[in-house]
């Protein structure tokens, strides 16, 4: 028998933790995006030291589990006296900010590679045409390189955003009371694991659905020519006249 009152009450309790989950997501997405642009610049640099550092960064953060990265930042950095007496300690001693840093560092490695793929996919003719028109480097980046790169990278970047939403659930392991953390608290009191996690999964599903729609809208805005093809009226097909000969 489905206990609808319990499900609705649990859903509302989990929804109160939604601002924490959204805070984790948007903070790590923005910080990770900024870091990714820096890593991308170093990755594409001709300087071997910068390129090597970017390669090593991507290898480490893509090749190790996010949960271990989170534990190392939350539990490991506090063991060093130089960190505890530094200006960043007021930030790193808070579980929320440790989770944001761990998520941002991890997503930056994936985002940098996604953007690099989009950058390499830009047709060389478009860049050459912009240079032939006398565009400066900044204007070329703003008018051609960045928009085209984003068009190619957007599908994979939307997937990374969805994975980031689901990765915020790991923040509950360091006492951040997001949706998953509150769900675990309710389970400890009620021992009703199935119903609570179903409600939590529904909240994450709704969030990811909204994100997919936002990225789909951005993709339509960046590709107006495809939208024009989809909305163009089809030409009527002339009827076939009986007895008419066709080649």
Look at residue 83 in the predicted model and tell me its pLDDT: 84
In a domain, 175, yes or no: yes
Look at residue 232 in the predicted model and tell me its pLDDT: 53
- Name the domain count of the chain: 1
Nearest to 28 by CA among 119, 109, 136: 109
pLDDT along the chain (247 residues), means of 10: 87 94 96 95 92 95 94 88 86 92 96 92 81 80 82 91 95 93 94 93 95 90 61 54 48
DSSP 52-75: HHHHHHHHHHHHS-HHHHHHIIII
In a domain, 233, yes or no: no
In a domain, 91, yes or no: yes
Look at residue 91 in the predicted model and tell me its pLDDT: 85
In a domain, 204, yes or no: yes
CATH number at residue 39: 1.10.3720.10
Residue range 124-183, pLDDT digits in tens: 887 778 888 878 778 887 878 888 888 889 989 999 999 999 999 999 999 899 999 999
In a domain, 246, yes or no: no
In a domain, 243, yes or no: no
In a domain, 148, yes or no: yes
User: Which spans in 177-243 are helix H?
Assistant: 179-190, 193-222, 224-231
> CA geometry: angle at 209 spanning 21 and 216, to 5°?
115
In a domain, 169, yes or no: yes
Domain residues for 121?
4-125+136-224
Are the C-beta atoms of residues 129 and 54 closer than 8 Å to each other? no
Look at residue 4 in the predicted model and tell me its pLDDT: 86
Whole-angstrom distance, CA of residue 15 vs CA of residue 6: 14
């Amino acid at each position: 028998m489905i206990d609808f009152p319990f499900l609705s009450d649990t859903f509302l309790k989990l929804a109160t933790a939604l601002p924490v989950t959204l805070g984790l997501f948007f903070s790590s997405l923005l910080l990770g995006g900024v870091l990714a642009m820096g890593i991308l610049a170093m990755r594409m640099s001709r300087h071997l030291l910068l390129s090597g550092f970017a390669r090593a960064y991507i290898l480490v953060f893509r090749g190790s589990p996010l949960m271990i990265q989170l534990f190392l930042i939350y539990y490991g950095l506090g063991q060093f006296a130089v960190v505890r007496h530094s200006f960043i300690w007021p930030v790193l001693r808070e579980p929320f900010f440790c989770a944001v840093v761990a998520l941002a560092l991890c997503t930056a490695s994936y985002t940098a590679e996604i953007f690099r793929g989009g950058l390499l996919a830009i047709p060389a003719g478009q860049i050459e045409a912009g240079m032939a028109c006398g565009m400066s480097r900044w204007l070329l980046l703003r008018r051609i390189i960045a928009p085209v790169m984003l068009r190619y990278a957007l599908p994979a970047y939307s997937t990374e955003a969805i994975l980031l939403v689901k990765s915020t659930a790991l923040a509950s392991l360091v006492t951040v009371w997001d949706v998953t953390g509150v769900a675990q608290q309710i389970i400890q009191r009620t021992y009703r694991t199935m119903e609570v996690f179903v409600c939590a999964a529904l909240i994450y599903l709704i969030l990811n659905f909204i994100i997919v729609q936002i990225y789909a809208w951005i993709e339509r805005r960046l590709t107006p020519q495809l939208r024009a093809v989809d909305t163009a009226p089809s030409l009527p097909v002339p009827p076939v006249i009986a007895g008419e000969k066709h080649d």
